[in-house]
Structure 1
Amino acid sequence: MCGIVGAVANGNVVPILLEGLFRLEYRGYDSAGLVVARNGLHRLRTTGRVSELDKLANKLNTQGLAGIAHTRWATHGAPSERNAHPHFSKAVSEIAIVHNGIIENHELMRQRLQAAGFEFVSDTDSEVIAHLVASNFQQTSDLFEAVCLSIAELQGAYAIAVMEEARPDRIIVARNGAPLLLGLGKTGNYAASDVSALLQVTRNIVYLEEGDVAELNNEGYRIVNCLHSKLGEEVERLVHESDLASEAIELGPYAHFMQKEIFEQPGAVANTLEMIFNIHSISPELFGSEAENIFRDTNSILILACGTSYHAGLVARYWLETVAGLPCNVEIASEYRYRNPIADPATLVVGISQSGETADTLASLNYAKSLGHRHSLAICNVAESALIRQADLRFLTRAGPEIGVASTKAFTTQLASLLLLTMTLAKMRHKLSNEYEGKMIAALRHLPAALQLALQVEPQVKAWAERFAQKRHALFLGRGVHYPIAMEGALKLKEISYIHAEAYAAGELKHGPLALVDNEMPIVAIAPNDVLLGKLKSNLQEVQARGGELYVFADADSQIQESEHVHVIRLAEHAGLLSPILHTIPLQLLAYHVALQKGTDVDKPRNLAKAVTVE
């Protein structure tokens, strides 16, 4: 959530700052602002979209050779201009800051700083940072040192960028628990929350580590780790050349990023599984050089994740227990980190996150380690993310940038990765015969083509969407491994269409949800031709008997007949273990087309953010 862009260059940086904010809009926000240095610090702030800030900057002909910019997702204080960043403070020199994250000790800091004479004009926790830096600046007269002293006092997660009026030729940035990186250019140097914001000016990227504070000017940069190094002792960080293509973060012929990303799934899954296309046998080395030893000592799995990634973990539990014969527990990360679970050192902890910066997932993985869990695996879409760096083993889901807030291709690539993990563990436990291994490798190779075929149901889904758009509530039903897919379908619908949707294991209908069923409540069912199909049909009969309207996603051979109140869309033949991945596609399309009918903001749904870097 939120986005930071900073720039120091030999020309006007305002277009760079604004373009960077446009490219970070996918992260979710409710206000935007920037400050530039030109005969003093000049600040612009607006509520609403970056486009409003762009109009204001053009109207005022705002220019400067250095600046910082921000999109805010409200945590402390309502969305308003006075709560928007940048925040100012005045000490020896005027200071401006932008901040991502949450400062957990902001109330105590606010009281202390107010007692010292600093006046607060916003409701945010972020303003504390501005006054704290100003307070330390009074003692040191050096902004870099003041920032270093300040972050030692802050508790929580943060990425910050700071400027001062007296030295307009530089910016200071710092990170701890929230993403921030540097961009090194020929005519300037830059900082941002995400590499996509900087592709306009450079591909040379430096990923900051926890506790790093960096000073940027037009000529170069320096980095000091103020939490782990002596003050003033510089540290080296590798320079990476980003291979992210500009077109990957552009819409192209699509109306929305969500639509684009739904249709990118065959290619995203193919990229994720590329390493198995020319092999005849699964190897644990797919998950890292130490994987074989770690997997050999593993006797159970603990999956930690949030939101859509949590649903992927729930699917994986069925696979791991059924195919690999390993006990598996799946925990919502934000809940696990406040429980007192029993740790087994022989349990492999698997953290799943699209961004790799999800605060609750990172904290829960650290908590699991503190309890005595020895080994961890990260399944993530971002190579240089905190989750990847924190885990012993790693597997990259090569989905490419996912801009739409409602996750699509990240989910299906996570499922493909988790199925590969299942097969690897099953093989090491002698649960996977050579014949079955060959069949599964062939099925995974065929998966991109199967996904392409699943996308062909879009015209039928569009017709359903016209009916759904008038509804206020919906129930989603699934059984077995498809129950988490029903949960994911319900989540997608409520995320972007704002229709209240709930998912249930179909056998639970008679234990309460059946009371909700009437002709105004659409019931979406996932009906693959598996061993639970007969049970599911009985559950659907319960709905029909009470006047419910059924919308069924079935396999071609499920033998569910259409009628006046039973609508059926048929996918291909049953795909076995891969069936949950294929049945995800029509549910994503349903949510997308219902949202189009309702006219909601598909890519940036209200109140939500893409990368949830706060608790």
Structure 2
Amino acid sequence: MCGIVGYLGPQEPKNIIIDGLKKLEYRGYDSAGIAVIHDGKTKRVRAEGKLKNLEDKIVSEHFNGHLGIGHTRWATHGAPVERNAHPHQVGEISIVHNGIIENYLEIKEELLKKGAEIKSDTDSELVAHLIWEDIQKTHNLLQSVKNTLNKIVGAFSILVMWEKSPNELIAFKDGPPLIVGIGEKEFFVVSDVQAAIKHTKKFVYLNDREIVHINNGSVQFLSQKGDVLKKEIVTVDWSADQVEKMGYKHFMLKEIYEQPRAVAQAIAPYIDTDTHSVLMKNIGYDTAEMYKKIDRVFFIACGTSYYAAMVGKYLIEQIAKIPVETDIASEFRYRKPILPENTLVITISQSGETADTLAAIRLAKEHGAKTLSITNVAHSTIDREAMGHMYMNTGVEVGVASTKAFTSTLSLLNILAVQIAKARGGISPVSEKEIVKALLAVPSQMETVLSYDKYFNEAASKLGEFKGFLYLGRGVSFPIALEGALKLKELAYMHAEGYAAGEMKHGPLALIDEKMAIVVVAPSDDLIDKTISNLQEAKARGGKIISIGTGENAALKSMSEFYLSLPAALWTTNPLVAVVPLQLMSYHLADHLGYDVDQPRNLAKSVTVE
């Protein structure tokens, strides 16, 4: 997702904007740029590649204005070259844009007929043309923005400034997030609070088709029609050092190590530690009443969140005894889903801004379903759309490859399964206490696994010799195998596939030879013997086995090249502990190969367009 930073205030915009864009680097980008009103004219600098290339260009530049906009671009329309980098300038108008203008071909054709000179291959530049064309008639930036908003269709967040009005900044959105930071006589407009959190803790979240108008030291929020809106100012209590590496080589490694605390924070609001019971906390509706009435659960998510949802299916079906379906959001929204009466639709999104998941929750509401969101960002768009809310509560997750948000989600799904079962009278106090005690033990169990970190670092060179990896698991370990394979693909760019271990005979055996690593997630549970039997087939064909089991499992250890012992855990919490070594393995292998672990190629932290 592209990064956006706008600033209007007494400080030099260059420093504020560059610093803000650095905080958004984790999202993935291929070019960057900045534009500041300087001596009544727009001073614009853009560069291909990393933000450092832009910094090098402007290190000796001085900007004496107090209004500026900046951008890191992830290419959609047009190659990642300087002419396509933002900000785009047409006449006296400059804009930055995150998203996609769906009717850009019609707009472009109309502009070309009028003789417009289009200099980039982007859809974004066309918005600047529309505003510039209109402002020459209205001589009013706000009016021209409103007129332009009526002409564009798609998913977008846009900041606009005008040379003739150096104390005025306007932004509007429909889709991707846009947030206004309110400081002392200064204002920030950003795509993520991380870009401004060191300057202010007060933020206003824009809804779709809303406009923010900052002018001469005041701020006003408007509807598309121009009606004045009263918006809530949200205090975000993240500290600035939460987005720094704090001595770790990469954000991802820091976030792997933060997981014990993240899990503890996620479950704390929902557990009575004295009685070891789950609290029926109000999460936006009468929790117990809601869960009594539902007959079916749908999980909708993308990527890592989808694999968490798969674990949730096992938990809810086995603990609460009601049917669960899992759906990839991009498939759900287009397959004309049938949602029976009394269905609860649960969406999972770390950012709370994932475009397909957002569209899915809106579709579910149209069908009359009850909705519950699990996010890490309160007041995000998905959070605001949902009727019920649960929060991962992990703090900032910077690494593109999700780690602590995933494990926090798994812990919440344990809570959710017990809540549903408890509301319906389907779980005994003894079973409830067992699950709660298991959850409370997870942070210390994770600490034990993290102590093995150095072994993965040492093994990285040998792991890099394999031509590919097959990840296997059964039951709740199957989604963890899928997540392990995804992490290796994301970070190390190696062939990796996750399979249900029972599927080995149905194709994957053909891939196995002495250059293929078999990574098996096999903590002790009622399926362990069947998993070991599946492994015998792989070993007989030359596969090199890397196994993750419970304690000193002699059978598993004897057939493995590498064996990692996990602390004994309940089946419900095994996934939280077992995923940690898979994260460490992917991290160290990718780092050994010299790849950018925090910013994998071609990927973004939050996908806010289709």
TM-score range, shorter chain: over 0.9
Name the residue aligned to 2:22: 22
Which runs of no fewer than 5 residues in structure 1 stay unpaired? none
SS in 1 for 2:211: strand
SS in 2 for 1:576: coil
Q: Distance in 2 between matches of 1:415 and 1:155?
A: 37
* Alignment match of 1:282 (pick from 273, 278, 283): 278
Instruction: State the TM-score, normalized to the length of structure 2.
Output: 0.97
| Paired residue type of 1:72 | R
Name the residue aligned to 1:67: 68
| Paired residue type of 2:161 | M
User: Residue deviations 1:119-174, cap 9 Å, x none?
Assistant: 21111111121112222223322111111121222211111100111112221111
Alignment of 1:515-534 (within 5 A): 515-534=510-529
| Paired residue type of 2:71 | H
Change (3 A) 1:128 1:86: same
Q: Distance in 2 between matches of 1:434 and 1:403?
A: 39
Name the residue aligned to 2:80: 79
User: Residue deviations 1:314-364, cap 9 Å, x none?
Assistant: 011111111111110100001111101212131100010000000010001
| Paired residue type of 2:357 | T
Q: Distance in 1 between matches of 2:169 and 2:186?
A: 12
How many residue pairs get aligned? The number is 607
Name the residue aligned to 2:422: 427
Q: Is the 8 A contact 1:497 1:594 kept in 2?
A: yes
Change (3 A) 1:412 1:544: same
Q: Is the 8 A contact 2:288 2:420 kept in 1?
A: no
Q: Cα distance, 1:63 vs. partner? A: 4.3
Name the residue aligned to 1:311: 307
Q: Distance in 2 between matches of 1:444 and 1:565?
A: 29
Which runs of no fewer than 5 residues in structure 2 stay unpaired? none
Residue 244 (str. 1) matches residue 233 (str. 2)? no
SS in 1 for 2:398: coil
Spell out structure 1 runs of 4+ moving beyond 4 A.
none
SS in 2 for 1:418: helix
With 132-141 and 310-319 compared, the bigger mean Cα shift is at 132-141
SS in 2 for 1:577: coil
Residue 265 (str. 1) matches residue 263 (str. 2)? no
Q: Distance in 1 between matches of 2:201 and 2:365?
A: 35
| Paired residue type of 1:219 | G
* Alignment match of 1:598 (pick from 593, 597, 601): 593
Q: Distance in 2 between matches of 1:477 and 1:413?
A: 23
Q: Cα distance, 1:365 vs. partner? A: 1.0
Q: Cα distance, 1:464 vs. partner? A: 3.0
Q: Cα distance, 1:433 vs. partner? A: 0.1
Name the residue aligned to 1:219: 217
Name the residue aligned to 1:360: 356
Name the residue aligned to 2:125: 127
Alignment of 1:174-189 (within 5 A): 174-189=172-187
Q: Cα distance, 1:61 vs. partner? A: 3.2
Change (3 A) 1:113 1:292: farther
Name the residue aligned to 1:153: 151
| Paired residue type of 1:326 | I
Change (3 A) 1:88 1:378: same
Q: Is the 8 A contact 2:539 2:559 kept in 1?
A: no
SS in 2 for 1:474: strand
SS in 1 for 2:281: helix
Residue 480 (str. 1) matches residue 475 (str. 2)? yes
CA RMSD of aligned residues (A): 1.4
* Alignment match of 2:297 (pick from 277, 282, 301): 301
Name the residue aligned to 1:292: 288
Q: Cα distance, 1:279 vs. partner? A: 5.4
Alignment of 1:221-236 (within 5 A): 221-226=219-224, 230-231=225-226, 233-236=227-230
Q: Distance in 1 between matches of 2:411 and 2:452?
A: 21
Name the residue aligned to 1:115: 113
Change (3 A) 1:417 1:52: same
* Alignment match of 1:321 (pick from 301, 317, 323): 317
Q: Is the 8 A contact 1:556 1:573 kept in 2?
A: yes
Q: Cα distance, 1:449 vs. partner? A: 1.4
Q: Is the 8 A contact 1:525 1:553 kept in 2?
A: yes
Q: Distance in 2 between matches of 1:152 and 1:304?
A: 32
Q: Is the 8 A contact 1:222 1:234 kept in 2?
A: yes
| Paired residue type of 2:190 | A
Q: Distance in 2 between matches of 1:235 and 1:467?
A: 60
Q: Distance in 2 between matches of 1:79 and 1:596?
A: 25
